[in-house]
Structure 1
Amino acid sequence: MSIPQSGGGPIEHHDQLAELLAKGCKPKEDWRIGTEHEKFGYCQDTHKPLPYDGERSIRAVLEGLQHRFAWDPVHEEGNIIGLTKDGANVSLEPGGALELSGAPLETVHQTCDEVNTHLAEVRSVADEIGVKFIGLGAAPEWSHEEMPLMPKGRYKLMDAYMNSVGTMGTAMMRRTCTVQVNLDFASEADMVQKLRVSLALQPVANALFGNSPFFEGKVNGMKSWRGNIWNNLDDDRTGMLPFVFEDGFGFEAWVQWVLDVPMYFVYRDGKYIDALGMSFRDFLKGELPALPGEKPLLSDWADHLTTVFPEARIKQFIEMRGADGGPWRKLCALPALWVGLTYDQGALDAAWDLCKDWTAEKREALRVGAFTDGLDAQVDGIKMHDLAREVVGIAHQGLAARAKPGAGGMIADETHFLNALHETVESGQTMADELLEKYHGEWNGDLSQIYDEYSY
C-alpha cells in the first residue's frame, strides 16, 4: 500500500485538486513503467507467516536487505517499515507481505530485470534465516489471527474501520497479494481512453492471473478468491466505476468521486490522525472534526487519493489493480500485457473497440465471472477464454509496434514477456487451474505441498 505523500502547500482553490492529477500528463517519450508486486513470507520449517520481530521476521528481512544491498531504511515510530533506493521502494502490506514498488523505467526489459534483481536479493537474505516467500493471490491456509498487523499507523486505523463497511476488508489487508503496473498518459483525453480500457478489461487480467483457489486450507470454489474479497470490501471506494464511462468524464469527475469517499486519516508530524469516515469536503472548508479550523495541504489530497481502491485508479498515472500475485515467471507478463494494450495507439484503439459498447452491467458481470470461473466464464455471449485470447493478441501487436529492444539489441522487442500468457490462453489453464489439478491429483489434498513447489 502507498506511503505518505509529501510536497505541496495549502489548497487555496478547488482547481488545484484536478491540477494535481493533470500534472501527470507527459509526452509519449517520457512515459514510464512502474511494476509493483507483493509476496507472502513464511517460516520454511513451520509454514507459518512471519511475525514483525524476531530472528525470522519481516524486520530481519528488511534489515538484511538494508545492510547487504545498500537500501535506505524508512522508519515509523522507531520501527523499520520500508526501504528506498534508486527510485524504487520496498514496503510492507498490513499482514506482512513484502512489496516492491519499482522505479519508473522505460521498457519491460528493464522492469523485468528489476523484479529479478529484487527477488534474488530477497532470496539471498531469506535463505540464511530459514524464510521463504511465495506468490499467490490469497494466503492458502493462514487464519486472520495468524497474520500479524504491521506497525504502521495507517494500517491500525484501516483495520479498525474495515469491518464496519464490508465483510472482507481485513482479509484484503492481511491475506491477499497482487501484481500491478503503473502507466502514464499524455493528456486528459488519453487518460480517459486508457482508464476506460483499463477498467473494462481488468476482468481479463483477473481471469488470466487468477491464482487464489484456496483459503483457510480449503478449496474456495473460485479461481480468484482475492477478486471475490475486493468485491465484498467497501462499496464507497472499490469497483468498476460506471461514471468513468459517462460523457464528459475527466479529471474533475474523478475529483468529485474521491471527495465523496470517506476519509481514513490525516498524516501530520510522522503520525496518522484518525479521520475515519470524515469528509474531505468538510476538510476543504476547515470543518474536519479531527483538525478543527485547519485546511488541507496538497499532500493531504495526495494521501486521500491513495485510499480509493477501484479495479484501476488514477493519481498522476494509472494503476492496473486486477491481477492476483503469482509465480516468478508471470510477474513480468502483467506489465507486458498493459504496456502492449495502452502504450501503442493502434493497440489502444483496438482494445477500446472490443469493449466500448459494453454496458455497466456487462462489465460488472465479467468482473464476477472472472474471479468465479476464470477463463471458463461466459457473460451475455462473451466467452472469457476467447476474449482473453483476443486481448493478449492485441497486447502482442502493441509491443511489436513499440519495438523496444533488449539485451543490447539482441532481442527485438518486448513480446516474449507475453509467452506465459500465450501458454495460458492456448492451454486454457490458469495458475488456479494448475493448483487445483495438483491438489486433487498428485498432492492428494495435502495443501502443504504448495510451499515447496511454488515458493520463489
Structure 2
Amino acid sequence: MSIPQSGGGPIEHENQLAELLERGCKPKDQWRIGTEHEKFGYDAKTHLPLPYEGPSGIKAMLEGLEGRFGWDRVEEDGKIIGLVKDGANVSLEPGGQLELSGAPLETIHQTCDEVNEHLAQVKEIADEIGAGFIGLGAAPEWTHDQMPLMPKGRYKLMDAYMDTVGTHGKQMMRRTCTVQVNLDFGSEADMVQKLRTAVALQPVATALFANSPFFEGKPNGHKSWRSRVWRSLDDSRTGTVPFIFDEGFGFEAWVQWVLDVPMYFVYRDGKYIDALGQSFRDFLKGELPALPGEKPLLSDWADHLTTVFPEARIKQFMEMRGADGGPWRRLCALPAFWVGMMYEQSALDAAWDLCKNWSHEQREALRVAASVDGLQAKVEGIDMHELARACVDIAEAGLKTRARPGSGGLIPDETHFLNALKESVETGQVPADELLARYHGAWGETLDPIYSEFHY
C-alpha cells in the first residue's frame, strides 16, 4: 500500500482537487511504466509466515537489503518499515508481504531488469537469514492468527475498521498479494478512454494471472481467491466504478466520487490520526472531528486518493489492479499486457472496441466469473478464453508498433514479455490450473511442496 504523501500546501478551493489529478497529464514521449509486486515471505524451515522481529524476520530482511545494496531506510516510530533508492521503494503490506514499487521507467526491458535485480537481492538476503519468498495471489495455508500485523499506524487503523464495512477486509490486508502496473495518460480524454478500457478488461487480467486457488490449506473453489476477497471488502471504495462510463465523465467526476468515500486517517508529524468513517467534504470545511478547525493540505487529498481500491484507479497516473501476484515471468508479463494495449492509440482503440458495448451487469459478471473459472469463464456469450486471446493479440501488435528495443538493440521490441500469456492462451491453463493439477496429482493433496517448487 502507498506510503504517506507530502508537499502541496493548503487546499484553498475545491478546484485544486481535480487540478492535482490533471497535472498528471503528460506528452507521449514522457509516458513511463511503474511496476509493483508483492510476495509472501516464510521461514524456510517451518514454512510459517515471517514475523517482524527475529533472525529470520521482516526487520532482518529490510536491514539486510539496506546494508548490502545501498537502500535508504524509512522508519515509523523508530522501526524500519521500508526502503527507498533511485525512485523505487520497498514497503511492507499489512501481513508482512514485501512489495517493490518500481521507479517510473521508459521500457519494459528496464522494468523487468529492475524486477530481476530486486528478486536477486531479496533471495540473497533471504537465503542468509533462513527465509524464502513466493509469488501467489493468496496465502496458501496460513490462518489469520498466523499472519502478524506489521508495525504501521495506517494498518492498525484499517484493521480495526475492516470488519465494520465488509467480511473479507482483513483477508485482503494480511493474506493477499498482487502485481500491478502504473501507466500515464496524455489528457483528460485519454485518461477516460484508458480508464474505461482498463476497468472493463480487468477481468481478463484476473483470469490470465489467476494464481490463488488455495486458502487455509485447501482448494477454495476459485482460480483467483484474491479477486473474490476484493468483492467483499468495502463496497464504498471497491469494484468496477460504473459512473466512469457515464457521459461527461472526467477528473471532476472522479473527485466527487472519492470525496464521498469515508476516510481512514490523516497523517501528521509522523503519526496516523484516526479519521475512520469521517468525511473529506467536512475536512474541506474545517469540520473534521479528528482535527477540529483544521483544513486539509494537498498531501491529505493525495493520501485519501490512495484509500480507494477499484479495479483500476487514477491518481496522477493510472493503476491496473486486477492481477494476482505470481511467478517471476508474469511479473514482467503484466506491464507488457497493459502497455501493449494502452500506449499505442491503434491498440487502445482496438481494446476499447472489444468492450465498449458491454453493460454494467456484464462487466460485473465477468469479474465474478474470472475469479471463479479463470480462462474457462463464460458470460452472456462472452468467452473469456477467446477474449483473452484477442487482448494478447492486441497487446502484441501494440508492442510491435511501439518498437522499443532491448539488449543494446539485439531484441527489436518488448513482445517476448508476453510469452507466458501466449502459452496460457494456447493451452487454456493459467498458474492456478497448474497448482491445482499438482495438488490433486503429484503433491497428494498437500501444499508442503509448493514452497520448494515455486519460491523465487
- Quickly name the TM-score band, shorter chain normalised: over 0.9
Q: Which amino acid aligns with 2:303?
A: D
Q: Deviations over 1:133-163 (max 9, x none)?
A: 0000000000000000000000000000001
- Alignment partner, residue 176 of structure 1: 176
- Alignment partner, residue 75 of structure 1: 75
What's the secondary structure of 2:34's corresponding residue? Answer: strand
1:396 aligns with 2:396: yes
Cα deviation for residue 394 of structure 1 reads 0.3
1:144-155 aligned at under 5 Å gives the runs 144-155=144-155
Q: Which amino acid aligns with 1:231?
A: R
What's the secondary structure of 2:238's corresponding residue? Answer: coil
Cα deviation for residue 330 of structure 1 reads 1.1
- Alignment partner, residue 16 of structure 1: 16
- Alignment partner, residue 5 of structure 1: 5
1:35-434 aligned at under 5 Å gives the runs 35-434=35-434
Identical-residue share of aligned pairs (%): 77
- Alignment partner, residue 448 of structure 1: 448
d(CA) in 2 for partners of 1:145 and 1:295? Answer: 39
d(CA) in 2 for partners of 1:237 and 1:348? Answer: 26
Aligned residue pairs, count? 456
RMSD: 0.3
d(CA) in 1 for partners of 2:426 and 2:109? Answer: 24
What's the secondary structure of 1:164's corresponding residue? Answer: helix
Q: Tell me the TM-score normalised to structure 2 length.
A: 1.00
Cα deviation for residue 446 of structure 1 reads 1.4
d(CA) in 2 for partners of 1:116 and 1:84? Answer: 17
Cα pair 2:217 2:446 within 8 Å, conserved: no
d(CA) in 2 for partners of 1:207 and 1:277? Answer: 33
Q: Which amino acid aligns with 2:439?
A: Y
What's the secondary structure of 1:321's corresponding residue? Answer: strand
- Alignment partner, residue 33 of structure 2: 33
d(CA) in 2 for partners of 1:329 and 1:280? Answer: 41
Cα deviation for residue 455 of structure 1 reads 0.4
What's the secondary structure of 2:323's corresponding residue? Answer: coil
What's the secondary structure of 1:13's corresponding residue? Answer: coil
What's the secondary structure of 1:163's corresponding residue? Answer: helix
Q: Which amino acid aligns with 2:352?
A: W
Q: Which amino acid aligns with 2:451?
A: Y
- Alignment partner, residue 436 of structure 2: 436
Consecutive unaligned residues of structure 1, counting only runs of 5 or more, are none
Cα deviation for residue 329 of structure 1 reads 1.4
Q: Which amino acid aligns with 1:328?
A: W
Cα pair 2:217 2:447 within 8 Å, conserved: yes
Cα deviation for residue 31 of structure 1 reads 0.2
d(CA) in 2 for partners of 1:323 and 1:454? Answer: 18
Segments ≥4 residues shifted beyond 6 Å: none
Q: Deviations over 1:366-419 (max 9, x none)?
A: 000000111011000011000000000000000000000000000000000000
d(CA) in 1 for partners of 2:437 and 2:372? Answer: 17
d(CA) in 2 for partners of 1:187 and 1:319? Answer: 16
Cα deviation for residue 223 of structure 1 reads 0.2
Consecutive unaligned residues of structure 2, counting only runs of 5 or more, are none
What's the secondary structure of 1:8's corresponding residue? Answer: coil
Q: Deviations over 1:75-107 (max 9, x none)?
A: 000000000000000000000000000000000
d(CA) in 1 for partners of 2:215 and 2:87? Answer: 35
d(CA) in 2 for partners of 1:444 and 1:291? Answer: 57
